[in-house]
Structure formats: structure tokens, C-alpha cells
Structure 1
Amino acid sequence: MDQFFAYLPGILLAYSVFLVGVSSPGPNILAIIGTSMSVSRRSGVALALGVAFGSLTWGTLTALGLAAMLSTYASALMIIKCVGGLYLVWLAYKSFRSAACVHDLEAPDVGQEQQSSLRYAMRGYAVQMTNPKAALAWVATISLGLQPGSPPWVAVAIVLGIFLLSVAVHCLYAVAFSTPFMVAAYSRARRYIQAGLGVFFSIAGLKLLTDRS
């Protein structure tokens, strides 16, 4: 039990980075919003589930790759943390730049055709798997929760926990943004949200870059 509580802060920090990250709509979330608005809420939820399973795939591949690297090169964790830290700093820059812009949230036009839920789920999976930034996001997220000598269950807890959060959050986007009202409400608060994200990503990125443990 003591070992669990020793690694718990890092795991919770990884969860926090994910939750903050999905507060800033990227291509996957914009696709979910666009599908829910122009097709149906059910199709948006199916797309959201596909995105979540794509996130699980990226997370699993990243965790296995990092585990293999760390088992061979113990010093690689420092390099991984630097890469993750630089990515978070870049996200902070993007958030601050977005906060300075006056453009509104723009969901892509995905057409009005009604297809099966499975097809939308497959589309969501493809959107996530073809997003190269997803791999960098996972490197940053997992490296926040890893410490030298971390047992395998730490990476498993991070990946599975974020997968469950991904299912919940992306489906919530699909349900909440199935009406133009929510899009308008988010647009009004967008600049403040982006500024807050910039602060959080800056702190998390600097933590990784300055962590020498």
C-alpha cells in the first residue's frame, strides 16, 4: 500500500494533464462536435468511442515502447522527460496564441449523411491513429507519472485510467455539443480557457524539464 501512495501523485498528475489537454479542442474533438451537430448525437458518441480506443492504442504502444527503452537504457528516462517537457511547452505556446486570437470555435463540416455507428467509430479511430501529435502527447503524459524504477503497474494504471477518462470526456463532448447553444457558450469562454491551459501546460512542461529524479 505504501508503494501505491508513493506513485499516486505522478499518476494523478498524468490524469490531470490529459483532462486539461482535452479542454482544448483538437482535430479529434472538433470532428466529434461537427458530427454531433450536423449528423446526430448517436453518431457523435460512436465517433467519440472510436477516438477513445485510438487513444488506448497509442497509449499502449507508447507505454510498451518506453518500457522496452527504459529496460535497456536506464538513462533514457531523462531524454523522454525532456521531449515530453518541450512538447508541453509547445502546447502552452499554442494555448496562449489561441487565447490572443478572436476567432470562434469552428467545427468541421462532416456532411449530413447518416451511416452506421460502426462506421463512425472506425472513422474516429482513424482520426486518432493518424494524428502524430497523439504519440507526443502520450510520451509527455506517461513521463510525468513515471519515476526511476517505476513498476509496470504504474504505466498500466496511467494508460487504463486515461482510456476510461477518454471515453467519458469524448462522449460528453458528443452529447453536450449536439446543440449550437453549447458551441456558442464555449466560444464565449474560449479565450479564458485557452489562457488557463497555457499556464497549466507551462508549469507541467517546466516540471518535466527541470526534474532530475
Structure 2
Amino acid sequence: MDQLSIYLPGILLAYSAFLLGIASPGPNILAILGTSMSAGRKSGVALAFGVATGSFTWSVLTVVGLSALLTTYAAALTVIKIAGGLYLLWLAWKSFKNAHSRHDLETRVLDGGQHTPIGYLIRGYVVQMTNPKAALAWIAIISLGLQQDAPFWVGAVIVCGTTILSITIHVLYAVAFSTPVMVRIYGRARRFIQMLLGGFFAFAGVKLMLSRS
């Protein structure tokens, strides 16, 4: 219980950063929305599972990579947290900028025409794994919950929790946005959501940069 109380705040902060990051649609989310609306719910769900699988892969690679790095170079944690904090602050700036933008949510349809569900799953995985921002995002997320000399179970809990959240939220996006109604509803609440995200990312970025343990 003592160990849990030490690491739980960071784990929950990592979950929150991941969850709110999904709430701010990037190219992958917009692809899921556009696929659900143009190719149907089944195709959107398949693409969502592909993106979620890619997120799982990135989380495992990041946890393993950071753990190995910190085992060899303990001082690297400070550099990693500063880099992750700066990335979160950039996300905060981007969210505040989007909140003041007049552009509504614009969905994205992947090129290449219709595919089978397996084809959409593979495309979702490839799109997520080839996203250059994914590595920076996962470094920031894992750094929030992974402290110096943290036991193995901390990284495993972060990976398992974010994987469950990833599958759930991405599939919900695919199901909910299979009709244009949800796009309009989200568009009306977009500015409030972006302001809320900006505030959280700014808080998490500052907290990560000030943390040294």
C-alpha cells in the first residue's frame, strides 16, 4: 500500500494526460471520424482498433526504452522530463490557439478507397506507428507516471490502463461519429473543450518540468 500511495498520483496524471489528449482530435482521430461517416461504423471501428493497437505498441516501446535508459543513465530523467514538459506546453499553446480558431471540426478520410475491416485495422496501425508526434506524446505521458527507480509494475499499470482507455475511447469515437449529428454537437462544444485541454496541458507541463524525482 505504501508503494501504491507513492506512485498512484503519477499514474493517474499519466492516465489523465492520455485521456485528454484523445479528447483533442488529431489526424488519427479525424481519420476514424471520417471513415465512420463515409465508409460506415464497422470500418471506423476496425480503424479504431488499429490505432489503439499502435498506441499500445508505442506505450510498450516507451516504457521499455525509458526504463532501460534510466537504469544506465539516472540523470537522463531530468532531460526527459524537461523535454516532455516542453511538449505538453506546446500542446497547451496549440489547444488555446484552436479554441480561438473559427474553423469547425474537419474530418479526414484516408486515401486509397474502400478496404476490408482487416485492411482498415492494418491502416490504422500503420498510421499510428508512422505518426512522428506519437513518440513525443508517449514520452511526455510515461514521464508523468514513471519516477526514478520505479518498480516494473508501475510501467505495466500505465501501459494496461492507457491501452484500455485507448480501445474504449477510439471505438466510442467510431460508433458515436458514424452519424453527422455528433460532429455538429462536438463542434458546438469545441472551444470549451480546447480551453479545458489547454489548461490541463499547461498544468501538466509545468508540473513535469518542476519534478525531479
- The TM tier, using the shorter chain, reads over 0.9
Aligned counterparts of 2:192 and 2:65: Cα–Cα separation in 1: 36
For the residue of structure 2 that corresponds to 1:25, the secondary structure is coil
Cα deviation for residue 74 of structure 1 reads 0.8
Write out per-residue CA displacement over residues 55-86 of structure 1, whole angstroms, 9 at most, x where no aligned residue.
01111111111011000011111111001100
For 1:35 and 1:140, the matched residues in 2 are separated by: 29
Q: Are 1:142 and 1:158, in contact at CA under 8 Å, matched by a contact in 2? A: yes
Aligned to 1:93: 93
Give the Å deviation of 1:112: 9.7
* Aligned mates of 1:141, 1:29 — CA distance in 2: 18
Summarize deviations over 1:81-121 as a string: whole Å, max 9, x none.
Answer: 00110000000010000011010000013479542110000
Call closer, same or farther: CA 1:112–1:147 in 2, change over 3 Å: closer
The reply on whether 1:190 has 2:190 as its aligned counterpart is yes
TM-score of the aligned structures, taking structure 2 as reference length: 0.97
One-letter identity of the residue aligned with 1:129: M
Q: Does 1:29 align with 2:29?
A: yes
- Structure 2: how far apart are the matches of 1:56 and 1:85? 22
Equivalent residue for 1:168? 168
Identity, % of aligned positions: 63
Query: Aligned to 1:105, what secondary structure does the other structure show?
Result: coil
Tell me what 2:106 maps to: 106
1:185 and 1:74 mapped to 2: Cα distance?
47
Q: Aligned partner of 2:135: which letter?
A: A
Does residue 132 (structure 1) correspond to residue 136 (structure 2)? The answer is no
Q: TM-score, normalised by structure 1?
A: 0.97
Alpha-carbon distance between aligned partners in 2 of 1:113 and 1:127, rounded to the nearest angstrom: 15
In structure 2, stretches of 5+ residues that fail to align are: none
What whole-Å deviation, never above 9, does each CA across 1:120-178 have from its counterpart, x for those lacking one? 00010011001011111110001000112101111111111101110000000000101
* Distance in 1, Cα, partners of 2:72 & 2:41: 47
Root mean square deviation of aligned Cα: 1.2
Equivalent positions of 1:1-213 (< 5 A) are 1-110=1-110, 113-213=113-213
Superposed displacement of residue 212, structure 1: 2.3
* Number of equivalent positions: 213
Cα deviation for residue 189 of structure 1 reads 0.8
Give the gaps of 5 or more residues in structure 1: none
Measured in 2, the distance between the counterparts of 1:179 and 1:111 equals 20
Q: Tell me how far 1:192 sits from its aligned partner.
A: 1.0
